[in-house]
A = this chain, B = another copy of it.
Amino acid sequence: MPADQPSAEPRPAMRDALVSAALALFAEHGFDATTVDDIVARAGVGRRSFFRYFPSKESVVFPDHEGTLRRMSDFLADESGFAEDPVARVCDAARMVLAMYAADPEFSLARYKLTRQVPALRTHELSVVRRYESALAAFLRTRYAGRADGGLRADVVSAAVVAAHNHALRGWLRSDGQGDPAELVEHALGWVYATYTDDVPSAPGIAEPEDEVMVVVARRGTPMWRVVQQVREALD
């Protein structure tokens, strides 16, 4: 996670009360049988307060996504990161989502169980995931502008990053929160990063043409003289 990004922004007490009341009622009576009126009655606030914070009953289950999306967009728009490898940058952005889940494991696990049971919540979650992916793709499209197949690369890399992040996150949620989710996500993002980064490690100082990397591929069993010949050919 980028060091200067808070893992979650402070939530007003009333908003928190609404989220707790909603989750408790969904667990007791089910999502479909619970109304917004039930939620505000339990939280002891007016109906209007609910809709000040949440556009729908679904969105109360994902209270931190809007904030995370906003922070992610700010992070990606920050020009001080433009010198960085774009793939590293979108991996950092994905880590912000993980940080949100890891900040409150109990809530994340309860939500995971609920979401598995309620199709409307799964659909809502898909739209949220799509918004994260679109934010990453929009950033990459800018960074890959002018490059052949830049748009294709932007869409595929952002989909791969989101899929890797979600694979690791889902593994952690399925195991009921065993282990460190950040480690799982690092491993998954590392694989995608290695696949798509252009960031070849550079030699100290300004790279001269003779600093280029040479790769020789040969079958085991190739005679040594043939390998040396190949190396010489590559060097010429």
A interface residue numbers (CB < 8 A to B): 123, 126-127, 130, 149, 151-153, 155-156, 158-160, 162-164, 166-168, 171, 187-188, 191-192, 195, 203, 209-222, 224, 227-228, 231-232, 235
The chain B residue with its CB closest to the CB of A127 is: B123
Q: Which of A130, A188, A211, A227 has the most CB atoms of chain B within a 10 A radius of its CB?
A: A227
User: In whole angstroms, what is the CA distance A130 to B126 when docked?
Assistant: 8
Is the Cβ of A151 less than 8 Å from the Cβ of B167?
yes
Beyond A149-B191, A159-B160, A164-B155, whether A214 also contacts B219 by CB under 8 A is yes
For the complex of A and B, list the 8 residue pairs with the smallest distance between their C-beta atoms, beginning with the closest: A159-B163, A210-B221, A155-B167, A159-B159, A212-B220, A216-B216, A126-B126, A156-B163
Query: What is the CB-to-nearest-CB distance from A217 to chain B, in angstroms, rounded to a whole number?
Result: 5
Bound complex: CA A212 to CA B209 (Å)? 31
In-complex Cβ contact of A152 among B127, B155, B164 (8 A): B164
**Are B156 and A192 in contact, CB atoms less than 8 angstroms apart?**
yes
Report the Cα distance A48→B159, complex, angstroms. Answer: 40
A155 cross-chain contacts in B, Cβ below 8 A: 163-164, 166-167
CA distance A235 to B220 in the complex (A): 7
9 cross-chain CB contacts under 8 A: A152-B164, A152-B168, A155-B164, A159-B159, A210-B220, A213-B217, A213-B220, A216-B218, A220-B235
- A166: B residues at CB distance < 8 A: 155
| Min CB gap A98→B, angstroms | 15
- CB of A166, distance to nearest CB on chain B (Å): 7
Instruction: Tell me, rounded to whole Å, the shortest Cβ–Cβ distance linking A164 to chain B.
Output: 5
Q: CB < 8 Å: which of B127, B152, B218 contacts A126?
A: B127
Nearest chain B residue, comparing its CB with the CB of A192: B156
**A155–B149 CA distance with the chains assembled, in angstroms:** 23
Contact of A219 among B123, B159, B211, B232 (CB under 8 A): B211
Q: How far is the CA of A152 from the CA of B224 in the complex (A)?
A: 38
Question: Which residue of chain B has the shortest Cβ distance to A209 in the bound complex?
Answer: B220
